[in-house]
């Protein structure tokens, strides 16, 4: 490569993008194989989940409206709770569960493939798709453990934040509202910080002999001095994802609904 490994740590934001585009185009064959076999299926599942979730939520809303349309026009609280339970379509929860399982499996596979390929390119190792799949299968279990630890960290973080902010919100005092506002800002900052640590932890799990909380601790050390750039890149990716999701809902979900097409046909188009 044109840049020595020692110089990589001094790359700025635009240099990182420039170097990333360069290796993707120079090694487009292996990256195309990764995209077609791992990233593209995950993308289809994400889009399909958006389409199905929109349809199921709409169906649940219509069912709830039909159930509450009683002749007398009045519904008791007990009847309201029963109607709510009846209107909750179990297909929605089952689809969400299947979606979570699929993403939980495929996301680490795609991440490990890209990380190992980039590492092999910069270290001068020969990398083929067959070797890549073999390595990915070996580190898959460790990646699952790292992802699980990250999920637990997010859950504990949310619980602690709720236990701290909730009493301040319900006290109704002005000084408590100000403190709750500050705590909310700090909470949002944590939601930006934790995904960055998670992404680096996945790379550490693939390249080093560590996983779980050990990999997350190691990732925090690697982000020192580069946290600002890492957060900008992560936020940019999230913004792009939200843009794609918005355009997908606008065009595919809303525009194509006038045609008699299945969800899969609309996604492919």
The pLDDT of residue 81 is: 57
The pLDDT of residue 238 is: 84
The pLDDT of residue 172 is: 57
The pLDDT of residue 92 is: 66
Q: Is residue 89 one of the residues assigned to a domain?
A: yes
Q: What is the pTM of this model?
A: 0.70
The percent helix, strand, coil of the chain (3-state, each to 5) is 85, 0, 15
The pLDDT of residue 72 is: 47
Q: Is residue 54 one of the residues assigned to a domain?
A: yes
The pLDDT of residue 262 is: 56
Q: Is residue 1 one of the residues assigned to a domain?
A: no
| Owning domain of residue 20 | 12-268
Q: Is residue 7 one of the residues assigned to a domain?
A: no
Q: How many structural domains comprise the chain?
A: 1
Angle at 120 between CA 119 and CA 124, to 5 degrees: 120
Of 116, 109, 115, 111, nearest to 137 by C-alpha is: 109
Using 50 as the pLDDT threshold, list the residues of the chain that sit under it. Answer: 72-73
Per-residue pLDDT reduced to its tens digit, 181-231? 777 888 888 888 888 888 888 888 888 888 888 888 888 887 777 788 888
The pLDDT of residue 263 is: 55
Q: Is residue 42 one of the residues assigned to a domain?
A: yes
In sequence order, what are the residues at sequence separation of 6 or more whose Cβ sits closer than 8 angstroms to the Cβ of residue 234?
192, 195, 196, 199
The pLDDT of residue 87 is: 52
Q: Is residue 69 one of the residues assigned to a domain?
A: yes
Q: Is residue 236 one of the residues assigned to a domain?
A: yes
Q: Is residue 5 one of the residues assigned to a domain?
A: no
Ramachandran angles phi, psi of 261, nearest 5°: -120, 150
């Amino acid at each position: 490569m044109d840049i020595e490994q020692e110089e990589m740590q001094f790359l700025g934001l635009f240099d990182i993008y420039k170097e990333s585009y360069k290796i993707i185009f120079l090694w487009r064959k292996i990256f195309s194989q990764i995209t077609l076999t791992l990233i593209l299926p995950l993308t289809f599942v994400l889009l399909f989940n958006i389409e199905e979730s929109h349809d199921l939520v709409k169906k649940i809303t219509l069912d709830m409206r039909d159930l509450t349309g009683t002749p007398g026009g009045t519904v008791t609280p007990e009847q309201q709770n029963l109607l709510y339970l009846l209107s909750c379509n179990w297909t929605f929860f089952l689809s969400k569960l299947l979606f979570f399982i699929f993403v939980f499996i495929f996301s680490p596979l795609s991440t490990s493939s890209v990380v190992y390929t980039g590492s092999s390119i910069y270290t001068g190792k020969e990398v083929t798709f067959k070797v890549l799949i073999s390595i990915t299968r070996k580190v898959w279990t460790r990646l699952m453990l790292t992802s699980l630890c990250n999920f637990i960290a997010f859950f504990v973080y949310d619980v602690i934040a709720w236990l701290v902010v909730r009493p301040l919100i319900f006290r109704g005092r002005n000084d408590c509202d100000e403190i709750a506002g500050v705590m909310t800002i700090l909470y949002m900052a944590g939601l930006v910080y934790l995904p960055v640590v998670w992404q680096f932890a996945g790379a550490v799990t693939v390249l080093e002999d560590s996983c779980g909380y050990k990999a997350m601790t190691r990732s925090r050390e690697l982000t020192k001095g580069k946290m600002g750039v890492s957060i900008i890149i992560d936020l940019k990716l999230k913004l792009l994802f939200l843009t794609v999701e918005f355009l997908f809902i606008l065009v595919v979900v809303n525009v194509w609904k006038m045609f008699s097409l299945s969800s899969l046909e609309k996604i492919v188009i």
